[in-house]
A = this chain, B = another copy of it.
Amino acid sequence: MPLFSPHDQYVRVKQHCGELLSEVRKERPLVHHITNTVTINDCANITLAAGAAPVMAGAAEEAVEMAGIASSLVLNIGTLWPGQVDVMIIAGKAANERGIPVILDPVGVGATTLRTESALRILRECNVTILKGNEGEIGVLAGSGGTVRGVDSYGCSGDPVDVARRCAEVTGTVVAMTGEIDVVTGDGEVYLIRNGHPMMDRLSGTGCMAASLVGAFAAVASSPSKAAVAALAAFGRAGEIAAPGAAGPYSFRTGLFDALYSLSPEDLRDGTQVEIRRGI
């Protein structure tokens, strides 16, 4: 029996988003990335813009050591090279031993066998805390069907909330599924986040950047799902602030990073558009 009314809970989640942003800036957690070469610069800079500290290190020889000083680990399979999945698993296991959150962004899962098998192998061999994907990718990993062409989602089969729930069940992770409405589920509640702007789809790598932010927030949070909610709300809120002043994708990018950098905890608290549903 819930101690709080839905409205109370809603207010508490929004409040918590603002608190987590303050916490990221105060603690400045080190977010270790093993990631693709397309969006690696934007991922480093978005982590910085949130107030955390990025390190991008993919060498096998330093995977354990770097995971040993990091506060979270972000794995992104966007441009796999020989042996990269092995390094991800070494780092993932080291992160698991230290109890720091592991975020997986299964970029392009479903588009090629290599990507699907790589994501499944990582999920099998490490404990992934939060799985951040688009609707197509989460649909594929839920086993219920999703369409991914290249690295773009063409949607999942069925109701997105059901698909996210099923993926959370199947993979044993918290699922953070991005789309027109973001869905976070897996450790109790289901959260629907309505922040964001369509311009975010016109810029390469916003999905990767979202995963970096989930890594930054998860590093300072006790609840992975609430960290994901706060990260996606903050990113979406920055997009909402940036869009009106943008003349196209690159001025939007400039505005997006600047807005996240300047986002106040109060603005995030007030601007978070979240709906809470009974969980799995």
Contact = CB atoms under 8 A, between A and B. Distances in A.
Interface stretch (A34-42, A169-177, A187-195, A271-279): A34-42
Given A37-B40, A248-B258, A58 B81 contact: yes
Nearest to A40: B38
Contact of A49 (B78, B249, B255): B249
Given A38-B56, A149-B69, A202 B248 contact: no
Contacts of A149: 30, 53, 69
Interface residues of A, number: 63
| Most-contacted residue by chain B among A30, A44, A57 (CB, 10 A) | A57
B253 A250 contact: yes
A41 B204 contact: yes
A151 interface: yes
A197 interface: no
A247 B48 CA distance: 15
A203 interface: yes
Given A108-B55, A150-B69, A204 B45 contact: yes
Contacts of A81: 58-59
A48 to B, nearest CB: 6
A53 B152 CA distance: 8
A229 interface: no
Contact of A32 (B30, B48, B150): B150
A135 to B, nearest CB: 16
A270 interface: no
A222 to B, nearest CB: 23
A258 B262 contact: no
Interface stretch (A112-120, A123-131, A159-167): A112-120
A216 interface: no
A138 interface: no
Contacts of A53: 149-150, 152
Interface of A: 30, 32, 36-42, 44-45, 48-49, 53-62, 65-66, 69-70, 78-83, 108, 111-115, 149-152, 202-205, 246-251, 253-262
20 contacts: A37-B40, A39-B41, A45-B203, A45-B249, A48-B249, A49-B250, A54-B150, A57-B108, A59-B80, A59-B114, A61-B80, A65-B114, A69-B149, A70-B150, A247-B258, A248-B261, A249-B258, A250-B254, A250-B255, A251-B258
